[in-house]
Amino acid sequence: MEQAASPARTVILTVDDDPGVSRAVARDLRRRYGASYRIVRAESGASALDALRELKLRGGPVAVIVADYRMPEMNGIEFLEQALDIYPEARRVLLTAYADTNAAIDAINLVDLDHYLLKPWEPPEEKLYPVLDDLLQAWRATDHRAVAVTKVVGHRWSARSSAVRDFLARNQVPYRWYSSEDPEGRRLLCAAGEEGLRLPLVITPDGASLIEPEDRELATRVGLATTPTTDFYDLVVIGGGPAGLGAAVYGASEGLRTVLVERSATGGQAGQSSRIENYLGFPDGVSGAQLTDRARRQAAKFGAEILTAREVTGLEVNGASRVVRFSDGSAVAAHSVILATGVSYRQLDAPRVTELTGCGVFYGSALTEAAACQGHDVYIVGGANSAGQAAIYLSRSAKSVNLLVRKPSLSTSMSHYLIQQVDESPTISVRTNSVVDAAHGAHQLEQITLRDTVTGDTELVDTQWLFVFIGAAPLTDWLEGTVLRDSRGFILTGPDLTADGRPPAGWELDRPPYHLETNVPGVFVAGDARAESAKRVASAVGEGAMAVMLAHRYLEQS
């Protein structure tokens, strides 16, 4: 018989939309585990997620989650994917029919599924209890003490408060948010002696209080690495998006002393995606945060160093070494460098938009701000995949999502599968030939002016939420004078450098530049920063791996 759990009454949660099946599962669980565990039953994925969030807030442990696969609105895999973010340590079981076995097998990779059970599970003594016994024993064998979290006290309409939350979330740092207007927020401000002063206030797990911390200070105080362990490496990777993470994984796994340098958070723009559905091996999609977390852990497993909140400002050639300079004047050198700097969101050029950024106007922050959008009218500017993914994600909780597209249709810029999902969503409206002419609000966004690009008609609409996804510009200005770029700032490599049949100026090697190599030997490019790149996650990861192969070839010949 199962041994007693902790006095806190550890939870086993079961969710099934069929009331009869739901009661039967709960009955069998209570019969075996009711004396030691609290059995929580839900009849939809949404209500089960609400229960998990409430348990999380109260600090209650959850050992096992049993979910039915076939549920309307949110199937069992989709539910477990979201539950994974709330209780990543809980063991996950999918209850499925024989016809859905393939989906259950796919879920093993998608949501780290621990087991799947075929219905019916009778007799439970043979088909249910042995599985649960093993999972509970495995859960008890791990450490489930409460994770010390960083506390952030701020104001909803504070741009820096929003930036701090986004930084912590994207770097997988557990934190808890308190409004400065709530009793607990005021208590924390008073305890820190900062009541009435600048926000945000960040209280680290060791009790230190930080007022409006910059990213590097924040990174250091919450335990992220910001300083290299040595001054020379085989490979420096600049940028932590899919291309950079791919390069770090393959570089370190090939035995190269590798360090990845990221100015903000690993994942890049892809890391902010609510769901990537066209990445090989994930037929049900994967969130950018999950993909980033797995890639980061994989790179670290092979020994790659990952530095966060370090801005690179220069690249120098010093004989056989390539020197990367940071904004604080320090530097690190390597035999080879991979530039995976990616791109940044283009800024919306309209009155008051800059002033209200972070105070209702956001660039790529849909995941961080989604919870606060519940029941509100949301506007998204953009017609490419990132805008479509944000619209799908926000439509789950927002009252309405209005997609503003400059072009006459979505077909020229958005993937077909996303267009279908947008069309099928009852809460998403697509307004083509529409642009934002101005934003309005003294301290927070209150209204926006929309203009029809065909008729010229304007409309003033009320909203507190404007998300902008209008293309991207390469982050390469710091390479001026060192690495050749095209007229838009994208980095030229390989064949683009030898289009006239001659090597680039200053090239001293007998061979032409490799396919992903710049005009500086030993300096390679991968991902969106490369001229004419595919701008897709899969191609970026592939280029990261290919750049490492070419760097190996360069090192062997040097």
pLDDT digits (tens, 9 = 90+) for 312-331: 999 999 999 999 999 999 99
Tell me the three-class secondary structure of 145-162, residue by residue.
Answer: CCCCCEEEEECCCCHHHH
The dihedral of CA 533, 537, 538, 542: what is its sign?
Answer: positive
* 129-143 average pLDDT score: 86
For residue 349, pLDDT over 70 is answered with: yes
Predicted local confidence at residue 107, as pLDDT: 56
User: Does residue 200 have a cis peptide bond before it, meaning omega lies within 30 degrees of 0?
Assistant: yes
Instruction: Tell me the C-alpha distance between 151 and 203, whole Å.
Output: 5
Residue 19 falls within a domain, yes or no?
Answer: yes
pLDDT in tens, 469-511: 998 889 999 999 999 999 999 999 999 998 788 889 889 899 9
Q: 135 and 15: one domain?
A: yes
E strands present in 174-279: 175-179, 201-203, 209-211, 232-238, 258-262
Q: 371 and 434: one domain?
A: yes
Residue 419 falls within a domain, yes or no?
Answer: yes
Q: What is the DSSP letter of 496?
A: G
Q: Is 417 helix (H, G, I), strand (E, B) or coil?
A: helix
pLDDT in tens, 353-374: 999 999 999 987 667 788 789 8
Residue 288's pLDDT band, with cuts at 50, 70 and 90, is confident
Residue 4's pLDDT band, with cuts at 50, 70 and 90, is very low
Q: Looking at 21-35, 77-91, 376-390, 391-405, which range is the least confident one?
A: 77-91
CA angle 552, 555, 557 (to 5 degrees): 110
Q: Please give the tally of structural domains in the chain.
A: 4
Q: 461 and 481: one domain?
A: no
Residue 221 falls within a domain, yes or no?
Answer: no
Predicted local confidence at residue 49, as pLDDT: 92
For residue 6, pLDDT over 60 is answered with: no
Q: What is the mean pLDDT of the chain?
A: 89
pLDDT in tens, 451-464: 999 999 999 999 99
Instruction: Tell me the C-alpha distance between 95 and 16, whole Å.
Output: 9
pLDDT in tens, 532-547: 998 889 999 999 999 9
Q: Looking at 7-16, 46-55, 201-210, which range is the least confident one?
A: 7-16
Which tokens belong to 170? 């994207």
Residue 5 falls within a domain, yes or no?
Answer: no
Residue 58 falls within a domain, yes or no?
Answer: yes
Q: Looking at 84-88, 177-181, 428-432, which range is the least confident one?
A: 84-88
For residue 273, pLDDT over 90 is answered with: no
Residue 256 falls within a domain, yes or no?
Answer: yes
- Name the residue range of residue 63's domain: 11-140
Who's near 326: CB < 8 A, 6+ residues apart?
310, 311, 312, 313, 332
Q: Which of these, 168, 173, 212, lies nearest to 192 by C-alpha position?
A: 212
pLDDT in tens, 70-105: 888 888 888 988 888 888 889 998 888 765 566 656
Q: Between 3 and 206, whose confidence is greater?
A: 206
Q: What is the DSSP letter of 329?
A: S
Q: 119 and 22: one domain?
A: yes
Q: 443 and 507: one domain?
A: no
Q: What is the DSSP letter of 99?
A: G
CATH no. for residue 443? Answer: 3.50.50.60
